[in-house]
Amino acid sequence: MDKKNILEWIICIIIAIVLALLFRYFIGTPTIVKMNSMYPTLEPNQRLWLSRWERTTKTLPKRGEIITFEKPAKIKYTYQEVDKNNPIAKYDEKIGVEWFIYNFLEIGKDSYIKRVIALPGEHVEIKDGKVYINKQELDEPYLQDRIVTSVEGPGFDDFIVPENYIFAMGDNRNNSTDCREFGCIPLEKIESVVAIRIWPLNVFGKVR
């Protein structure tokens, strides 16, 4: 193989890699469930297809949709740090090459998968083991029987979701680190919406 053919192969490989990265960032990507915070809806080692088109088009997710989002920089607060008048998750700002490596190549990046519970402007109350949105009890058929929703220790249990933020929790409420502890997620940190479950085949299809 001469140098010209080698160069052509190198260029083709580079183009293929770039196209794959662009597709993954803007359109969609597969992933594997690693934790049990969404049990019984999702179980560890199940394979999902994530749609990233909503991020590309800056579409607000719907209540009940399962999303992935960037893990906040700070997960646990003290009672003094919990500000229910400003219930937002904290993130470190990344710019330039650091942003590209972290967000585009996703090297060293951690993400959470949770269900959207409340939308911008809505009043959330967690009390008596249940969730209330604008004073109305939220119907949550995806939860297992006898699941109690509570906030143990410092956290957010009575607040209004800020504009351009959402509030999300895991279905496995007793084993989920979520917005109850670290606050609401800014829309720009939402990475994807779970589109379908692709493995195992006996549960293939849309996730609800």
pLDDT tens digit string along 132-154?
A: 999 999 999 999 988 999 998 89
CATH class of residue range 3-206: mainly beta
Q: Residue 184: what pLDDT?
A: 98
Within 10 angstroms of residue 116's Cβ, the number of other Cβ atoms is: 22
Find the range with the poorest average confidence among 1-10, 72-81, 128-137, 193-202. 1-10
Residue 38 reports pLDDT greater than 70: yes
pLDDT at 1: 61
Give dist(CA 136, CA 59) in Å, integer. 25
What are the Cα distances from residue 153, in Å, to 5, 41, 147, 181, 185? 64, 26, 18, 9, 20
- Please, which residues bridge with residue 190 across strands? 69
Q: What Rg do the C-alpha atoms of the chain give, in angstroms?
A: 19
Give the residue carrying structure tokens 């990344």: 94
- Tell me the pLDDT tens digit for each residue of 156-179: 999 999 999 999 999 999 999 999
DSSP 72: P
CA distances to 8, 57, 132, 164 from 15, rounded to whole Å, are: 11, 24, 50, 35
Per-residue CA distances from 20 to 13, 15, 48, 186, 189 (Å): 11, 9, 18, 27, 21
Q: What is the mean pLDDT of residues 40-69?
A: 96
Domain borders along the chain are: 3-206
Around Cβ 71, how many Cβ atoms within 10 Å? Answer: 16
Helix, strand, coil % over all residues of the chain, rounded to 5 = 25, 30, 50
Task: Reduce the DSSP state of residue 61 to 3 states and report it.
Answer: coil
C-alpha distances (whole Å) from 57 to each of 21, 31, 60, 163 are 17, 21, 9, 18
pLDDT tens, position by position, 90-124? 999 888 899 989 988 898 899 999 999 999 999 99
